[in-house]
Amino acid sequence: MTTSLVSLLLLFAEPPSPPPATPAAEGAVEITITGPAGSRAKMEETVRALVGSDPEIRWTFRDDAPAPAPVAISPEGDQRFWIDLGNPVQVRIHLPGCAGATNNVRTVDHPASDEVGPVERETVAQIVKAALKGLRGEPAAARGCDAGKDKEKVVLTADVRRRSAGAVWAGMGGGVAWGYVPSGNLEWERHIEVASQAEWAGLLHLLPEVGYMLTDDFALAVQGRVEFIRQEQATVHDPSTGQVVVPADSVAGLPHARAYAGFLRAIWYRNLSSSGKLRLSFSGDLGGGVVRFPVAPVAVVYLDANGDTQVDWNRTIARTDTRPVGILLFGGSVGLLWHLRRNLALAVDGRALSGLPDWGFVMEAQLSAQVAFGGAGGRVVSATP
């Protein structure tokens, strides 16, 4: 009786054994993304867009990164991905373990910056998608789990949604300009001085352009500017003869009907969308030529001793004349670049210009279409054992 009582007491005194761990559901996958919060969010968005909203995928996030020398081989059956965004020039993807795999780490290089670009994020998503297919036994096996290769290359086949490094583009645009020019002498009738004016600079201007993408985010371009000025002629109302055109025989040549300029542009781009299709652009522009402000013709008349109408040629502007800004032109622009396709884009921007020695200030609004040729159609990712 005593022995039975002691045994019963010992049974209740001993802590119960923990229940066996519940195995993860078959097919469940964990994707962990480490690194800066902004980069993690964009990477998740890109990978999700490619692999879909799979309820069997568990997403986790961490601020820290894996150890400098992570374990190269994960145990067979492990279904964890680890995307490390902590390195400023390289993304590391730790793939799930595969039977006989010699290296489960892939790397994607990117330009040294605080943020992984859309092309690199797309490449990572392709690698993850391929490995997921391999885990689930789909025909397109994960190349990252091929033990028969000591060194392999995974080529990004997804559409790159914007032009990239190495691309050349040609564009044509047009716009309008408004600004200020101080008082000074006219270009054609130089003997006449006019007051300062805030006015439209011509009817419109055309902007042919050729550019080259040195990197995915920086380009150099050469741009022309052709401004058109509508010509009008002064008229005077003569009571005896009616309205007549004021002749301009007293001034040699003709006033300017166009203005020409050219610029060398340094252009920087910044993504505004995760796909990279919509980008912010800003530039520094330096060039030569002139921007012209038209001065409307006006007839100044007086009555002579006989009561006849006479033209005061010292103050009459017989035809539309101009005030120039230039010959050295400089300024900058801010705009948006929208890629309809990788080789076709629309750009809208605003530019501020000034000039010397003829000073003035010009604000331009313009729209252009751009067609690109060449450039990287995909990225090659090396997997070195």
Has residue 207 been placed in a domain? Answer: yes
What's the CA gap between 171 and 284, in Å, rounded? 18
Domain coverage including residue 136: 26-158
| 57, 128: one domain | yes
152, 221 contact by CB (below 8 A): no
Has residue 5 been placed in a domain? Answer: no
Residue of 49, 35, 60 whose CA lies nearest to 273: 49
Has residue 3 been placed in a domain? Answer: no
What's the CA gap between 184 and 196, in Å, rounded? 7
Instruction: Give the pLDDT of residue 16.
Output: 41
DSSP 72: S
How far, CA to CA in Å, does 288 sit from each of 7, 19, 189, 325? Answer: 102, 81, 24, 10
What's the CA gap between 85 and 64, in Å, rounded? 9
| 55, 92: one domain | yes
| 237, 309: one domain | yes
58, 81 contact by CB (below 8 A): no
Tokens of 50: 């490619």
3-state secondary structure of 291: strand
Instruction: Give the pLDDT of residue 249.
Output: 55
3-state secondary structure of 197: strand
Has residue 9 been placed in a domain? Answer: no
Q: Mean pLDDT of successive 10-residue segments in the chain (385 residues)? A: 46 41 55 86 86 80 60 52 83 70 71 71 86 66 40 41 88 97 94 94 96 94 97 76 62 87 97 86 97 92 76 85 96 96 93 97 97 67 35
| 216, 284: one domain | yes
Has residue 314 been placed in a domain? Answer: yes
* Predicted structure pTM score: 0.60
| 134, 197: one domain | no
Residue of 146, 38, 48, 55 whose CA lies nearest to 102: 146
| 150, 175: one domain | no
The 3-class secondary structure across 209-260, one letter per residue, is EEEEEEECCEEEEEEEEEEECCCCECEEEECCCEEEECCCCCCCCCCCCEEE
CATH of the domain at 137: 3.40.50
What's the CA gap between 334 and 351, in Å, rounded? 7
Residue 249 CB: number of other CB atoms within 10 A? 6
Instruction: Give the pLDDT of residue 24.
Output: 40
End residue of a domain, out of 131, 158, 185: 158
Residue of 113, 60, 70, 114 whose CA lies nearest to 92: 70
Residue of 48, 81, 85 whose CA lies nearest to 275: 48
End residue of a domain, out of 135, 158, 181: 158
What's the CA gap between 127 and 383, in Å, rounded? 11
Instruction: Give the pLDDT of residue 241.
Output: 64
| 245, 312: one domain | yes
Instruction: Give the pLDDT of residue 235.
Output: 78
Instruction: Give the pLDDT of residue 275.
Output: 73
Give the containing element (helix H, strand E) for 124: helix 118-135
What's the CA gap between 41 and 33, in Å, rounded? 9
DSSP 144: G
Has residue 62 been placed in a domain? Answer: yes
What's the CA gap between 304 and 9, in Å, rounded? 136
Has residue 107 been placed in a domain? Answer: yes
CATH of the domain at 188: 2.40.160.20
Upper half-sphere CA count for residue 146 (Cβ side, 13 Å): 16
What's the CA gap between 81 and 30, in Å, rounded? 6
| 148, 190: one domain | no
End residue of a domain, out of 129, 158, 187: 158
| 202, 279: one domain | yes
| 254, 346: one domain | yes
Has residue 354 been placed in a domain? Answer: yes
Instruction: Give the pLDDT of residue 9.
Output: 42
Residue of 120, 58, 57, 114 whose CA lies nearest to 93: 120
159 burial level (CB within 10 Å; 0-12, 13-18, 19+): exposed
| 38, 141: one domain | yes
Number of domain units in the chain = 2
| 176, 292: one domain | yes
